[in-house]
Chain A
Amino acid sequence: MKTFATYNIKGGVGKTATAVNLSYLAAHQGYRVLLWDLDPQGAASFLFRIRPRVKGGGKALIRGKRPMDDAIKATDFDNLDLLPADFTYRNLDLVLDAAKKPSRRLGSLLAPLSAEYDVIFLDCPPGISLLSESVLQATDLLLVPLIPTTLSVRTLDQLTEFLSSFDGSRPEILAFFSMIDRRKRLHREIAEQLPEERDDVAAVAIPALSLIERMAVERTPVTAFAPRSAAARRYAELWQEARERSKLPAPPAADTW
């Protein structure tokens, strides 16, 4: 089992869109995928038409009082399950703080799911918190969407520095540009320059397209409702790169359909 997380200190950079589309692509290839919508806003849950509610709230899950199994819901897509968001997730830091080894807690909750899933995606809320620290500890490959600004390099450096302070396991970083507007020269320049300079930045960039915004109307990943679109193709390239970097083995064979 490999764990991926979409994460950025900033909000509104395309974390959920990435998590939703990459989870769908992985499931479509035959991997058994679980997406955990950790953001109390519940955007990923909304996109899959699943009500953002977990019985007992985040507290029961984190404390292990309610088995993860019970809270998991199937999406409309084969091989893709979702652990929904819950509004109580906004207090997860407090719950984690009260737990033993809070930064390892998420990892130990996910470990038993390895028999059932090949891939886990964690869609994280923005910010630096105990929750994000716990997510980073549990993750194999961290997908970091960057808005093409001069500050984006600084954000990435900060994150790398933060990770280097970790004891033991720390995730590999795969940053990529998101919401690129090809008409803007600055966007183009930054998006071309940075991948050449840094190994941890992917060459593929996700464009700012209205089709991606349409996901909220369709309530379906763009990779599912417009699989041949430019947006879907970029996500597929990003997933390919994430697969290779994480050394994810080939998926099991497809089922009947």
Chain B
Amino acid sequence: MQSVLRHFVVNRDDEAEPGEFLSLPGSAFAISEAVRSVSLRRLWLDTFDWRLYRSGLTLEQISRRGTTDLVLTGRDGAILAADHGGSGPLKWPGQLEVLPLGPLRDHLGPVVGVRALLPVARAVSSLRENRVLNSDEKTIARITVDRMSVTYPAAGTVPPRVTVTALRGYQPQAQRLADQLAAAPGIADGSASGLEAALAVVGRRPGDYSSKINVQLTPRMPASAAMATVLTALLDTLEANVNGTVRDIDTEFLHDLRIAVRRTRSALKLAGDALPDGVAGRFRPEFKWLGDLTTPTRDLDVYLLGFSDMAASLVAATAEELEPFHDHLRWSRAAEQRLLVRGLRSARFARLSSQWRQALTAAATARTRPSVARLAASRIARAHRRVLRDGSAINATSPPESLHELRKRCKELRYLLELFGSLYDPGEQWRAVRELKTLQDCLGEFQDTQVQHEELRAFAEQMIAERTAPAATLLAMGEIAAGLILRQRQARSEFADRFRDFASPASQGRIRTLIGIGAA
């Protein structure tokens, strides 16, 4: 048994044997000739939004001599779970279901969720191992030299990486050896992660995509430039998700794309006047078109993602009786996905994204007043007032539409807080949106259950028209419809409390403090 002690990088551009560049004159240790060598094809996998990396995990597919292993390691390089290719080579991108049941899948499940795993880097590694012997000619450590050529996402050569591994019971001696190596010329401390090293040589780093708005605004920035910065980041996110949506790799590409569109639309509606004249008005109808294009597929995704929970909730009917409905959803989704792909490949979409980027580039240099801090404060305050006004007007007899409208106002407030989030203290921001989030959850449940209920009726009518709905399936759908209504009533009954919390003086004060207007 052995433990990795230290990593080094060799900053020498030659093909020297480790015995040469690791020569340690006067050392009590001898480094053997390479005792074994192996060539590995390496493929690192992660979700598009780097869920494994962000959780400190690395998933690597290693192929050598006709065998393929999938190995999951933690931050310290320790193996957490592995699959030794019993099911043959796997095709990527793929959902977790392609993996056989076992510890690896169990480990990945909670982290990966509904996302697919896709290749994030590929490389070929040539590993040579040398032994380090003490005066008894006993091995006390191993030195591995890894010469890695990256082939994806771009080609590059990683400087030789040296790993010193101590054999159990010989850590003190191995430590002395590592210290001697650290002092040798041309050798520097290196990183533990092969993935980081592989991406670094091609100018990337793990974790370089997130669906969050990752910009840094400063309070005195002109509003127009700040808006252009935020909207450009949203356009980057939107474009980053087009390929995955078109290839239908997993449902979250479309989800992230839609959120980028919705945030863009809200920004144009609530603060578009900060952009140069005419820009917001010109692009708002185009983004509405794009939003509408994505809605049917996403609605069906939501149904399908929740389908097993829905089937499990049945009391009178069985899950099997619901199966024709499942088929109907899948077919409908396949049809909607084709329309969505056509839209995303259309000239209209290409024009929208290129002209929008041009418009934002121009807006970024426009010297407009006021500053972004003033713009953000006034728009957030206005949106906040509207939520308070509309929410206060709702009572037990108000129609469902009034809650739907309030939900929209809440979303607007939330989007503004996110768009301008980098202006504020993260802790204060979190506290300020806490009650807003709870209120949004309640309103979301109220509206989503209603929409799903209406859709369920429409699905049932379609299925009857297509003669694909057995009576048992319609009864099972009826049970689901009843469950949706119960959930909607529950949400309605909770609304008054949620809104009271949101409208409390303390909660109002937190939002005012955040945007710098001062407590009420």
Interface set of A (CB-CB < 8 Å, partner B): 32, 48-51, 71-74, 76, 79, 81, 116, 219, 253, 256-257
Contact = CB atoms under 8 A, between A and B. Distances in A.
Contacts of A81: 1, 168-169
Given A49-B138, A72-B168, A256 B1 contact: no
Contacts of B170: 73-74
B169 A49 contact: no
A76 B170 CA distance: 11
Contacts of A51: 136
Given A49-B137, A72-B1, 7 more contacts: A49-B138, A72-B169, A73-B168, A74-B139, A81-B169, A116-B1, A219-B137
Looking at A49, A76, A79, the one whose CB has the most chain B CB atoms below 10 A away is: A76
A32 B1 contact: yes
Given A253-B84, A256-B38, A256-B127, A74 B167 contact: yes
B84 A76 contact: no
Contacts of B2: 74
A34 to B, nearest CB: 9
Interface in B114-142: 127, 129, 131, 136-139
Contacts of A219: 137
Q: State the 5 A-B residue pairs at the shortest beta-carbon distance, nearest first.
A: A73-B169, A253-B84, A74-B167, A74-B168, A49-B138
A76 B169 contact: no
B377 interface: no
Contact of B138 (A50, A71, A116): A50
A73 B170 CA distance: 7
A51 B129 CA distance: 25
17 contacts: A32-B1, A48-B138, A50-B138, A51-B136, A72-B1, A73-B168, A73-B169, A74-B139, A81-B1, A81-B168, A219-B137, A253-B84, A256-B40, A256-B62, A256-B127, A257-B36, A257-B129
A194 B36 CA distance: 44
Looking at A51, A72, A74, A257, the one whose CB has the most chain B CB atoms below 10 A away is: A74
A256 B127 CA distance: 10
A22 B36 CA distance: 23
A81 B168 CA distance: 8
Interface in B305-330: none
A72 B2 CA distance: 11
B69 interface: yes
Nearest to B86: A253
A51 B167 CA distance: 15
Interface string B166-178: 0111100000000
Looking at B127, B131, B167, the one whose CB has the most chain A CB atoms below 10 A away is: B167
A48 B170 CA distance: 14
A74 B169 contact: yes
Contacts of A76: 131, 138-139
Contacts of B127: 256
Contact of A257 (B38, B137, B138): B38
B359 interface: no
B82 interface: yes
Nearest to A48: B138
A230 B257 CA distance: 68
A49 to B, nearest CB: 4
Nearest to B165: A74
Interface string B61-87: 010100001000000000000101000
Contacts of A257: 36, 38, 129
A256 B69 CA distance: 9
Interface in B163-208: 167-170
A33 B351 CA distance: 66
Contacts of A74: 1-2, 139, 167-170
A253 B1 contact: no
Nearest to A50: B138
Looking at B36, B69, B168, the one whose CB has the most chain A CB atoms below 10 A away is: B168
A257 to B, nearest CB: 5
Nearest to B62: A256
B32 to A, nearest CB: 10
Looking at B40, B64, B131, B139, the one whose CB has the most chain A CB atoms below 10 A away is: B139
A253 B129 contact: no
